[in-house]
């Protein structure tokens, strides 16, 4: 297939012929600067500034900021699949929890004989339940590299199996959202059972160290916070590169008109499956980073409400922007931390009202509002309209002559 033919087909898909960044470079620079300053000040303020100083950053604050960044990475994974492909997943909390359990199993194996019952091999909850040997699926989790690999592989494998069956059957819209919610609910019920071998309703906690470093030490807490920030920035730029590639442009075309994309010859279900897998892996990494910082993982992380909250974070920040999802996750969770202490019973009502307000009055989120204020709406692609560079009349004219302009589906690679 010639490059000219490909350009014509990309035009019909609403894809820019010339590659252009999906995100403004100015926003990327701001993200790097703000994240770097926060990390630098938190590290210096905790380790070097004495506690008596008003500029001292407590270990609790560092842990809280690290949790926010884990949530930001999770929101980024949702924005990848929802903002750019139009797939509203209400089950990403499951991938997050699976990644967290992978790290939790490693941390439990590190306790050894320092546990309550002093068993060098079995975790405390297994001794309490009268288990006599370690289950086969716990083997290997005494190695950090294996735990990290499983924290990515298991969510990715689940996403591949689920996505392959769902997208191959062309399940879309609200039906797909309900299926993803049912998936995370089923996993929650399964992990609540003691015989599953994951700690039942109590989950896993009382972690001691990671890679030989004491988890309660300030230096370890700061290190985990810095690693989380670096991972978040890496995931952001990797996602930005991926969605700026040909693969990403096809994904945006699938979001705007999947039938048209399929008619031209693209195997849309393949693109959706692999993006779904990538998104699940990001969520798993977020869960693996979350557990050593908060010190616990239990089946409550599978709760469907958690997955619904993720959607609120992305919507508030601005879907289809990547950095909007990051900002939304941090802003909403900061507000949650503050207001749950002041109005604990009213927070969920406020969160629901915020989502309704954003949906009606700020469809592009906070980021879209800021972009409108600075007159740069064209710097980022809209998540509700095609990012075509052609005039509307030109696109309609191309569509009317599609049979004469294309060389058939056989000439398109998938």
pLDDT at 15: 42
* Letter string b/e over residues 257-280, b meaning 16 or more CB atoms within 10 A of that residue's CB: ebebbeebbbebbebbbebbbbbb
Least confident of 32-41, 122-131, 402-411: 402-411
Are 163 and 276 contacting, i.e. CB atoms less than 8 angstroms apart? yes
Q: Whole-prediction pTM value?
A: 0.84
Tokens of 268: 């849309």
From residue 151, give the alpha-carbon distance in Å to each of 144, 145, 308.
11, 10, 22
From residue 410, give the alpha-carbon distance in Å to each of 167, 255, 398, 403.
22, 22, 19, 13
Within 13 A of 46's CA, how many CA atoms are on the CB side?
Answer: 23
Q: Where are the alpha helices (DSSP H) in 83-217?
A: 92-111, 124-128, 144-168, 173-191
d(CA 196, CA 204): 13
pLDDT at 289: 97
- Nearest CA among 308, 320, 311, 327 for reference residue 366: 327
pLDDT at 350: 82
pLDDT digits (tens, 9 = 90+) for 139-192: 999 999 999 999 999 999 999 999 999 999 999 889 999 999 999 999 999 999
Tokens of 8: 């014509």
Which are the contacts of 63, defined by CB distance < 8 A and separation ≥ 6? Answer: 221, 225, 293, 294
Q: Which residues pair with 204 in a beta bridge?
A: 297
pLDDT at 360: 85
Are 328 and 366 contacting, i.e. CB atoms less than 8 angstroms apart? yes
Domains along the chain with CATH numbers: 29-376 (1.10.3470)
Task: Please give the distance of CA 34 from its chain centroid, rounded to a whole number.
Answer: 20
The overall longest dimension of the chain from CA atoms, in Å, is: 76
Are 114 and 208 contacting, i.e. CB atoms less than 8 angstroms apart? yes
Least confident of 173-182, 328-337, 379-388: 379-388
Pairing of strands 209-210, 296-297: unpaired
Report helix, strand or coil for 150. Answer: helix
pLDDT digits (tens, 9 = 90+) for 276-319: 999 999 999 999 999 999 999 999 999 999 999 999 999 999 88
């Amino acid at each position: 297939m010639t490059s000219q033919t490909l350009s014509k087909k990309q035009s019909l898909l609403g894809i820019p012929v010339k590659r252009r960044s999906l995100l403004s470079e100015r926003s990327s620079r701001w993200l790097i600067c703000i994240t770097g300053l926060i990390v630098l000040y938190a590290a210096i303020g905790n380790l070097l500034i004495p506690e008596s100083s008003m500029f001292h950053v407590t270990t609790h604050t560092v842990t809280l900021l690290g949790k926010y960044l884990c949530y930001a990475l999770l929101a980024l994974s949702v924005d990848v699949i929802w903002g750019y492909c139009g797939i509203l997943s209400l089950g990403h909390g499951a991938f997050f929890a699976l990644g967290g359990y992978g790290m939790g199993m490693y941390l439990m194996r590190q306790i050894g004989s320092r546990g309550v019952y002093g068993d060098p091999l079995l975790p405390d909850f297994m001794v309490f339940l009268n288990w006599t040997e370690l289950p086969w699926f716990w083997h290997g989790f005494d190695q950090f590299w294996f735990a990290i690999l499983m924290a990515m592989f298991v969510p990715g494998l689940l996403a591949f199996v689920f996505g392959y069956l769902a997208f191959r059957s062309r399940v879309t819209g609200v039906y797909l959202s309900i299926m993803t919610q049912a998936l995370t609910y089923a996993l929650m019920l399964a992990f609540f059972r003691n015989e599953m071998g994951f700690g039942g309703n109590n989950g896993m906690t009382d972690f001691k160290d990671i890679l030989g470093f004491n988890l309660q030490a300030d230096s370890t807490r700061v290190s985990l916070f810095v690693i989380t920030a670096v991972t978040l920035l890496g995931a952001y730029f990797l996602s930005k590169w991926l969605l700026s590639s040909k693969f990403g442009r096809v994904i945006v075309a699938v979001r705007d008109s999947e039938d048209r994309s399929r008619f031209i010859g693209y195997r849309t279900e393949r693109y959706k499956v692999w993006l779904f897998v990538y998104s699940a892996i990001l969520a798993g990494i977020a869960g693996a980073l979350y557990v050593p910082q908060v010190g616990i993982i239990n089946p409550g992380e599978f709760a469907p409400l958690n997955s619904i909250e993720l959607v609120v974070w992305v919507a508030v920040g601005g879907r289809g922007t990547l950095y909007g999802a990051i900002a939304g996750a941090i802003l909403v969770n900061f507000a949650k931390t503050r207001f749950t202490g002041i109005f604990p019973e009213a927070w969920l009502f406020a969160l629901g009202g915020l989502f309704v307000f954003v949906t009606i009055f700020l469809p592009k989120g906070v980021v879209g509002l800021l972009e409108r204020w600075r007159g740069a709406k064209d710097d980022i692609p809209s998540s509700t309209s095609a990012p075509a560079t052609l005039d509307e009349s030109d696109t309609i004219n191309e569509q009317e002559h599609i049979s004469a302009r294309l060389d058939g589906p056989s000439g398109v690679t998938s």
